[in-house]
Amino acid sequence: MIAGAAAIPALLMLAGIHVYWAAGGKAGKGAAVPTANGRPVLKPSPLGTALVAVGLGVMAAIVALRIGWLNVPGLPGGGVAVKIATWLIAAVFALRAVGDFRCVGFFKRIRGSAFARLDTAAYSPLCAGLALLIGIAAGS
CA 23 distance to own-chain centroid:
19
pLDDT (tens digit, 9 = 90+) per residue, 70-108? 998 888 878 899 999 999 999 999 999 999 999 999 999
Of 81, 82, 85, 89, give the one whose Cα is nearest residue 65: 82
| Domain boundaries, position 86 | 2-139
Residues in contact with 3: Cβ distance below 8 Å, sequence separation at least 6, in sequence order: 132, 133, 134, 136, 137, 140
pLDDT score recorded for residue 61: 97
- Mean pLDDT score across all residues of the chain: 95
| DSSP type of residue 72 | B
pLDDT score recorded for residue 77: 77
Of 85, 81, 113, give the one whose Cα is nearest residue 121: 113
The SS3 call for residue 30 is: helix
Element (H, E) at 36: strand 35-36
Query: Is the pLDDT score of 38 beyond 80?
Result: yes
How many folded domains does the chain comprise? 1
Give the whole-angstrom CA distance, residue 80 versus residue 108: 35
